[in-house]
Amino acid sequence: MLATYSTMLPLFDDPAGENPGFFDRAHLAETLQRLAGEGIYLGTSSWKYEGWLGQIYAHEKYVVRGKFSKARFEQNCLTEYAGTFPIVCGDFSFYQFPSEQFWQKLFTTAPPSLKFAFKVPEEVTCKVFPTHPRYGPRAGEPNQTFLHADIFEAAFLRPLERYRERIPVLIFEFGAFSRRSYARPADFFADLDIFLAKLPGGWRYAVEVRNEEFLSPEYFSVLRRNNVAHVFNAWAKMPPIQRQVEITEAFTTDFTVVRGLLRAGRVYEEAVKNFAPYERIQDANPETRQTVRLLIDRAKKKREPAYLFINNRLEGNAPATIDAIVHDDAD
């Protein structure tokens, strides 16, 4: 159990610096690169945040004719991102099947050293489309491609095949299911088991659920049987990560995936309203930070890969949260 490591010493030395408001990007990059050399990758969810200017991004790189160019920033900032972080989670892929041309441009733009995790499109993970205007006539309708392994392979995996070495994990994010979608958790587990068993080998897969009642031995058995990781996720209506890692069965394979998204009890819209444009930490979450440290330590001791992603909505500024995780000995 992870509790074995609860009294560990800090993983890393504190960064030097006389100015407490100074963000030591170079020191963070050095630490993250060292961890990546041990198979432990820390990064953020997405990367196009102007709030990180002066922190991760140099403002002057994106000035055109004396003015900041949003277009230049969005086109080029991934290269600068890779100067600090070894991996990024591409949340954008959740909303569509990107074209082969899109993938080619993305991987050509990104430095070869940068690795990607991608969320699988909701065309595969959404059972009933939400009643939201962006879904148009499909809003509220059943999704005919839910858990369709052949479509997943043809529309998502095949275009990514040439970039496989740069994609250490793919994440199936399942939003919270209503009782109307699944009257019993066991019904979802049965469907998930069938789907996972059909997936092509040679890729790492991870599953993120947002129904607390799904965190059961049966669910973890399905993942373990198919060599798929449970995503330890910080989310509004999920138990905090520290409670999830106390479940011995939750470690279902030989790699770890973490997504620090929201403080328990805080909805996404509230976090966006309170934290945007994500320039600084506004609500430190020491419990989640310490749990992420423990998971890093566990992976180091077991010599297993780990992929850990922090979202701006967790505390207000993902880079500063990651810096605190790897450098602070007290929160």
- Give dist(CA 147, CA 124) in Å, integer: 5
Report pLDDT for 139: 85
Q: What is the mean pLDDT of residues 102-115?
A: 95
Q: Please compute Rg for the chain using Cα positions.
A: 20
Report pLDDT for 327: 95
**CA proximity to 47, closest of 91, 94, 97, 109:** 91
The pair of three-digit structure tokens given for residue 149, joined into one six-digit string: 């392994």
Longest dimension (CA), the chain: 60
Tell me the domain boundaries of the chain. Answer: 2-327
Report pLDDT for 21: 59
**CA proximity to 119, closest of 95, 150, 87:** 95
Q: What is the mean pLDDT of residues 314-320?
A: 98
Checking if the pLDDT of 188 tops 50, the result is yes
Q: What percent of the chain has pLDDT over 70?
A: 93
- Give dist(CA 309, CA 45) in Å, integer: 6
Report pLDDT for 328: 79
3-state secondary structure string, 12-34?
CCCCCCCCCCCCCHHHHHHHHHH
Q: Is the peptide bond before 277 cis (omega within 30 degrees of 0)?
A: yes
Write out pLDDT tens, residues 251-283: 999 999 999 999 999 999 999 999 999 999 999
- Give dist(CA 193, CA 225) in Å, integer: 8
Check residue 142 and report its DSSP letter. B
Query: Under the phi-then-psi rule, with left for phi > 0, alpha for psi from -120 to 50, and beta for the rest, what region is 119?
Result: beta
Average pLDDT, the chain: 92
Q: Does domain 2-327 have CATH number 3.20.20.410?
A: yes
User: Contact, 233 vs 186, CB < 8 A?
Assistant: no
**CA proximity to 294, closest of 284, 283, 282, 306:** 306
**Mode of pairing for the β-strands spanning 256-260 and 229-234:** parallel
3-state secondary structure of 205: strand
Q: What percent of the chain has pLDDT over 90?
A: 89
AA identity, residue 293 = R
Q: Which of 21-30, 45-54, 157-166, 234-243 has the lowest mean pLDDT?
A: 21-30
Checking if the pLDDT of 16 tops 90, the result is no
Q: What is the mean pLDDT of residues 187-200?
A: 98
For 11, 160, 185, 186, 227, the CA distances from 7, given in Å and listed in that order, are 12, 42, 35, 37, 30
3-state secondary structure of 8: coil
Checking if the pLDDT of 14 tops 90, the result is no
Q: What is the mean pLDDT of residues 188-205?
A: 98
Q: What is the mean pLDDT of residues 174-198?
A: 97
Write out pLDDT tens, residues 75-88: 999 999 999 999 99
Report pLDDT for 329: 57
User: Contact, 206 vs 170, CB < 8 A?
Assistant: yes
Q: What is the mean pLDDT of residues 167-196?
A: 97
